[in-house]
Structure 1
Amino acid sequence: MNNTELTPHFEELKKALEGSIDDDELMAELNKYLNDYHVDIAAAKRGILRKYGKSDSSFATSSTPVKKVADLNGTEPNVDIVAKIVYVETKNITVKGLNKTIVSGILGDDTGTASFTVWEPGAVQMEKGSVYNFRNCYCKLWNERVQINIGNRGKVEPAVGIEFEVPNSTASLASTDVKIGDIREGMGNVSVEGRIMSVESRKIVSRGEEKIVYSGIIADETGKIQYSAWHDFDLKAGESISVKNCYIRAWKGIPQLNIGDRAVVDRLGTPIEVEAGDSLKTVCEINRIGGGLDITVEGVVVDMKNGSGLIKRCPQCNRSVMNGMCTAHGSVDGIPDMRMKLVVDDGTGAIGAIVNRVDTERLTGVTMSMATQLANIQGEGVIVRELMGRILLKKVRLTGNVMSDDYGPSMIVRSAEAVETDIQEEAEKLLSEVEAAI
């Protein structure tokens, strides 16, 4: 920012500091925070206020503009909104390996609606149809739509005595049509068409109230995804449907379709064709969507991680145990097993893959019996070396569920097979690519 752009922020700070710092020093402080510390203007102002003993909370609230939803442009760093809850849900997500609870949904006023997320909900309990003051929000654009965020500096408070009608149909409520294979974590209001592959129901307790959740798998020609419906739409396996106004939540990076009480379900006259087999994707595509069900990857094994070879599993939960200790059930008499923890590279990126005993035996030719006998003679360390010698730099085709975390995507392999490589064909292909690049 130049000095002209800084002027309104400078005047704001000058008024809040009440003469405790001269003008030149204040401008120097602003420039230092912005250009030396490289923080945004809101953080710079908070830092300066705290440095000179002023409360940044009262400052932020008093200087925060109040806007109508229709007036938001998606670039506001700090704004107050008075709005009614149109739709709300609580989500559990994983951030930097830690479980986190957030609240999201749609809010609206008499000018329009927008999606929102409360990242630190605390004890606040928001109810559909109630009006709240959303203080110190920041806004972003996603798919050309405004998203309202309430972070750790924000507050959500009941707006007592305020009532208004939210328009039933606004542009911000329109769903985005997507194919199932393109669904990724963080998407807002989406519509999909697909065939119901399975349906099951279970009872849960939410806020002290017993509810029935309907779940299963829905698929189209691009992939499949798990869904959860919070209303009985009378879904049946085999039927093709269109679902509008859905929301995406994720579990360990695997997107899941959430069909809430705002969703509209229609039966289709023409059946949806579902791709036979599994969805072949590159690692680059997986990184974009975050994860998925029954994904297939082809690539070269470039590494084997610790934890491969002979292991023992808890007889109750099937987790691997270390020194006879299960993280969930304590001291147990482990059941012998074998696995490989591979790193597979397909040229667009690398993915971790946990291969079970059956597929380990198929890919390497090393059976559980052989490994046990060899370990009794030479120790368990030799098993890993034997497996590496037989699998490293081999091309494989893996299928399974893919999850993502801070360390990247990882597949729990359901099936695996070796891929024969035509050296002549691959060499000619590489030569063509090199010549084309020259």
Structure 2
Amino acid sequence: MNKEELTPHVEELKRVLEEKVTEKELMDELDKYVNEYGVDMESAKRAIRRKFGGEESGFVTGNAVSKKIGDLAGNEPNVDITARVVYVEKKQIRARGEDKTIISGILGDDTGTASFTIWSDSYDLEKGSVYIFKNAYIKTWNDRIQVNMGSRGVVEKSDATIDLPERTISYTSVESKIGGLKEGMGNVSVTGRILSVEERNVNVRGEDKIVYSGLMADDTGKVQFSAWNDHNLKEGETILITNAYIRGWKGIPQLNIGDRSEVSRVDDPFGSADLDISSNKTLREVSESGGGLDITVSGLVVDLRGGSGLIFRCPQCNRSVLGGECTNHGKIDPVHDLRMKIVLDDGSGAIGAVLNRELTEKLTGVTLENAVSLSKARGESGIIAREIAPKILMKRLVLRGNVMSDEYGPMMIVSEADTEEVDIEKAATKLLDVVEGAL
């Protein structure tokens, strides 16, 4: 594509990134992805937005449209919502190495409720009060509507009166596979094989208690579970849990066996299948679920993000540090380490992934010792990322690990990684079959 064809897409990226990146930088990046690497336009723009931190801002075009919560589709770029604050809190998050305060909670009107996030602490919202949320952008997470207020958003107090509908509570348990569990689900029934179980002593409000936790699996995936009551669970047995509820930790679903839950032993429907294996998913499936344990994905490396290459860590807590100072231990004598933070795209979606020293050395051939020597010789550590980039970009990889999520989306902590060999003839035949089938 020539410069004229790329220009509209560069202008779109400038708006999304709020002019934080120059037009020349964006043009160079887009030209590299599309014309040099051969990446499709949507994947290229997605990679550039991730690289320059554009996930928070959302797309804002034209004039805002007023909508009720029940009418939100989950993809609106610019909408006004008048709603009552059902719940609100300010909380601290860690974003790009800095502490940041945001406001989150639940909004409601006469058509339904939705969670909301204001990416600043500029407002003091009151529970029960009604506000107009102007220029919000709407996303979905785990099939639930999320209202987001970026830098263009404005919150104003409203004199409107909103009566929320009566909440109907159902205790009917819904059957679900482990691979389909999502944070926030309640009253679910799950059948799985116990892979591990342990007792842990915890202190809750000054009282010592025992929690029973472990790992269970079915033919779609694995999930951590916990119970406050002793159900005499044994490794290797298959159980049916009814009326469980799902909580999440950094996007990873966790199955909770509560006081209303029932546990029964059932015949094993999985036969001789080995359930202690990784589950293969597309990146779209990973993004929709929000996270999970022991997942395998494959795709093309479309970006090497900042924080890759030669880094420094605290020798006591292993945190990455800058300037020889750890947030936990103060001034320290840091140790060198090597890592990659990549963006993987399989055509259905994209996620970030972090690869440790061992995997970085395996995939690039750049060792920590070589990196330290080169950095000292050149007088800078940034050169290592530039050395690694051409060795990893546009490579197809198969990654295995746990996927966690935060406000910026899913991130895989990789435990295993290999290059993926592509059978060109087989891929071409498959594509031809698809094209001929569409004619």
What TM-score do the two structures reach when normalised by structure 1? 0.62
3-state SS of 1:427 partner: helix
CA contact (8 A) 2:69 2:114 kept: no
Matched, 1:385 2:386: yes
- CA deviations on 1:279-334 (whole Å, 9 max, x unpaired) are 11011111221100001110010100000011121222211111112222222222
2:114 and 2:428 map into 1 onto residues whose CA distance is 51
Q: How does 1:80-95 map to 2 (within 5 A)?
A: none
Aligned to 1:228: 226
1:100 and 1:228 map into 2 onto residues whose CA distance is 30
3-state SS of 1:172 partner: coil
1:196 partner amino acid: I
Note closer, same or farther for the CA distance 1:275–1:154 as it changes in structure 2 (3 Å cut): farther
3-state SS of 2:226 partner: strand
- CA deviations on 1:233-254 (whole Å, 9 max, x unpaired) are 1212222111111100001111
Note closer, same or farther for the CA distance 1:405–1:118 as it changes in structure 2 (3 Å cut): closer
2:404 and 2:360 map into 1 onto residues whose CA distance is 21
How far is the alpha carbon of 1:98 from its aligned partner?
Answer: 6.9
Aligned to 2:399: 398
1:277 and 1:202 map into 2 onto residues whose CA distance is 25
Q: How does 1:17-416 map to 2 (within 5 A)?
A: 38=66, 40=68, 172-270=170-268, 272=270, 273-378=273-378, 379-416=380-417
1:400 and 1:101 map into 2 onto residues whose CA distance is 30
How far is the alpha carbon of 1:38 from its aligned partner?
Answer: 1.7
Note closer, same or farther for the CA distance 1:99–1:209 as it changes in structure 2 (3 Å cut): farther
1:338 and 1:417 map into 2 onto residues whose CA distance is 17
1:340 partner amino acid: M
3-state SS of 2:66 partner: coil
1:297 and 1:93 map into 2 onto residues whose CA distance is 31
2:115 and 2:358 map into 1 onto residues whose CA distance is 45
- CA deviations on 1:113-137 (whole Å, 9 max, x unpaired) are xxx9999xxxxxxxxxxxxxxx999
5+ long unaligned stretches in structure 2? 1-62, 71-82, 107-112, 117-127, 131-160
1:289 and 1:319 map into 2 onto residues whose CA distance is 28
3-state SS of 2:321 partner: coil
Note closer, same or farther for the CA distance 1:37–1:420 as it changes in structure 2 (3 Å cut): closer
Larger radius of gyration: 1
2:202 and 2:241 map into 1 onto residues whose CA distance is 23
1:38 partner amino acid: S
- CA deviations on 1:4-61 (whole Å, 9 max, x unpaired) are xxxxxxxxxxxxxxxxxxxxxxxxxxxxxxx98725499xxxxxxxxxxxxxxxxxxx
2:333 and 2:162 map into 1 onto residues whose CA distance is 50
Note closer, same or farther for the CA distance 1:323–1:95 as it changes in structure 2 (3 Å cut): closer
2:69 and 2:320 map into 1 onto residues whose CA distance is 49
How far is the alpha carbon of 1:93 from its aligned partner?
Answer: 12
3-state SS of 1:287 partner: helix
Note closer, same or farther for the CA distance 1:94–1:193 as it changes in structure 2 (3 Å cut): farther
3-state SS of 2:239 partner: strand
2:311 and 2:260 map into 1 onto residues whose CA distance is 48
CA contact (8 A) 1:93 1:101 kept: no
How far is the alpha carbon of 1:355 from its aligned partner?
Answer: 0.3
CA contact (8 A) 2:104 2:115 kept: no
CA contact (8 A) 1:228 1:259 kept: yes
How far is the alpha carbon of 1:360 from its aligned partner?
Answer: 0.8
CA contact (8 A) 2:287 2:351 kept: no
CA contact (8 A) 2:225 2:255 kept: yes
Aligned to 1:417: 418
Note closer, same or farther for the CA distance 1:102–1:199 as it changes in structure 2 (3 Å cut): farther
How far is the alpha carbon of 1:367 from its aligned partner?
Answer: 1.5
CA contact (8 A) 1:197 1:219 kept: yes
How far is the alpha carbon of 1:403 from its aligned partner?
Answer: 0.9
CA contact (8 A) 1:93 1:252 kept: no
1:221 and 1:247 map into 2 onto residues whose CA distance is 20
What TM-score do the two structures reach when normalised by structure 2? 0.62
CA contact (8 A) 1:239 1:271 kept: no
How far is the alpha carbon of 1:375 from its aligned partner?
Answer: 1.8
1:117 and 1:434 map into 2 onto residues whose CA distance is 41
CA contact (8 A) 1:226 1:257 kept: yes
- CA deviations on 1:56-105 (whole Å, 9 max, x unpaired) are xxxxxxxxxxxxxxxxxxxxx99x9xxxxxxxxxxx998998799999xx
How far is the alpha carbon of 1:377 from its aligned partner?
Answer: 1.8
Aligned to 1:89: none
Note closer, same or farther for the CA distance 1:211–1:184 as it changes in structure 2 (3 Å cut): same
1:216 and 1:233 map into 2 onto residues whose CA distance is 13
How far is the alpha carbon of 1:422 from its aligned partner?
Answer: 1.9
1:270 and 1:399 map into 2 onto residues whose CA distance is 27
- CA deviations on 1:217-247 (whole Å, 9 max, x unpaired) are 1111110011111111121222211111110
3-state SS of 1:420 partner: coil
1:204 and 1:366 map into 2 onto residues whose CA distance is 44
How far is the alpha carbon of 1:426 from its aligned partner?
Answer: 2.4
3-state SS of 2:301 partner: strand
Note closer, same or farther for the CA distance 1:359–1:201 as it changes in structure 2 (3 Å cut): same
2:312 and 2:183 map into 1 onto residues whose CA distance is 34
